[in-house]
Amino acid sequence: MKILITGGSGFIGSNFIRFLLEDSGEENLEICNFDKLTYAGQGKNIGHMGLSHDPRYTFIRGDVSIREQVEHALDLFDPSVIVNFAAESHVDRSISNSMDFVTSNVSGTVNLLDVSIGKLEKFVQISTDEVYGSRKEGSFNEDDLLNPSSPYSASKAAAEQFAVAYHKTHSAPVIITRSSNNYGPFQLPEKLIPLFITNLIDGKKVPLMWSEDNPGLNVRDWIHVEDNCRAIWHILNHGKVGEVYNIPGNSELNNLEITRAILYYFGKGDEMIEHIPHRKGHDFRYSISGDKLADLGFKVDPGSFYKRLDETCKWYEENQSWWRPLKGK
């Protein structure tokens, strides 16, 4: 199997490459990482993992939003599968500069779909639970309407719609995954968990969104990145073309609970919390059903969350040479 992984130097993409090469149990693989190496994928993940010298791994630098570079990568590598992780993903950045998200997330996906027509066995489009929007009770399933709240989630929803349209129009072998909030090693310290961990390592307070009527109570479902990678691989091998699969972590916590769990690891209390205003369009709760994925034979065990969170805290303590340059230190 020849797999072209776009955005393979980023957080989830690099962890997926590591999983394929070390833990998937599949020896007959060739992996090509196609990445433009923005601030979110500077190439250090793969090197830090020690994977760059694996003979099954190759790298092509390029931008999914530039059609000629996508054509070059497909001609050079000739993949049978594309897994599209390439995306701008930081919500706050999307609020201040939406066009970058349209360019990478929408135009990039369309370029990949266009160039790969008739050439692939599978095209896995990596999406997010944020496309559903907020829900106070119950959980979204794959057939629910999309109702994105931020420019980021809107761009991911639009990319999905193009993928679905190419499946219907061109019989593109598309499968879509929507995962809950990922955490784990190699996540940029702009996201909540690594930001809070690295701040506390440096003795700084953690910025928790807060108001009198909503004191840090926004709910997110958390999944360790390794579990998401295992789920994507399972869906790639067993999922049905044309289908969408939610990937929940089955670990819903509000932001105050996750903050206190990280504080507890470092032996700190609420005195280390700095209250900041909520962002514009801040969704209250994300929750997705994993019944369809369970029917496919895969389910994440929620019982390991706090253990994996402690392991993540320890990883950032032990790998400061990786994250300090990313925080300008």
pLDDT tens-digit series, residues 262-286: 999 999 999 999 998 876 766 779 9
Cross-strand pairs, 208: 275
The domains of the chain are located at: 2-182+223-247, 184-220+252-283+306-327
Residue 329: what pLDDT? 55
162-176 mean pLDDT: 98
Q: Measure the CA–CA gap between 11 and 65, rounded to whole angstroms.
A: 19
Average pLDDT along the chain: 92
Radius of gyration in angstroms for the set of CA atoms belonging to the chain, rounded to a whole number: 19
Q: Measure the CA–CA gap between 146 and 130, rounded to whole angstroms.
A: 9
Nearby residues of 108 by Cβ (< 8 Å), 6 or more positions away: 6, 63, 64, 65, 84, 86, 87, 159
Q: Which two tokens stand for residue 176?
A: 């879509």
Residue 42: what pLDDT? 62
Q: Which two tokens stand for residue 182?
A: 């990922």
Comparing 222 with 190, which gets the higher pLDDT? 222
211 pLDDT band, cuts 50/70/90, is confident
What is the CATH code for 184-220+252-283+306-327?
Answer: 3.90.25.10
User: How far does the chain reach from its first CA to its final CA, in angstroms?
Assistant: 40
Query: Given 152, 166, 183, 245, which residue is catalytic?
Result: 152
Other CB atoms within 10 A of residue 280 CB = 10
* Domain pair 2-182+223-247 / 184-220+252-283+306-327, same fold: no
Please, what is the Cα angle at 240 between 227 and 107, to 5 degrees? Answer: 80
Q: Which residue has the tokens 């209390």?
A: 269
Query: Given 129, 221, 227, 252, which residue is catalytic?
Result: 129
Is residue 23 scored above 80 in pLDDT?
yes
Q: Measure the CA–CA gap between 90 and 101, rounded to whole angstroms.
A: 9
Query: Given 130, 221, 227, 283, which residue is catalytic?
Result: 130
Based on the residue annotation, tell me whether 78 is a catalytic residue of this protein: no
Based on the residue annotation, tell me whether 129 is a catalytic residue of this protein: yes
pLDDT tens-digit series, residues 86-96: 888 656 665 66
Class of domain 2-182+223-247: alpha beta
What are the backbone angles phi and psi of residue 76, rounded to the nearest 5°? -75, -40
Provide the 3-class DSSP secondary structure of residue 165: helix
Looking at this protein, which amino acid is placed at residue 30? E
pLDDT tens-digit series, residues 72-83: 999 999 999 999
Q: Measure the CA–CA gap between 173 and 176, rounded to whole angstroms.
A: 10
Q: Measure the CA–CA gap between 304 and 26, rounded to whole angstroms.
A: 26
Is residue 181 scored above 80 in pLDDT?
yes
HSE-CB of 37 using CA atoms within 13 angstroms = 10
Residue 24: what pLDDT? 92
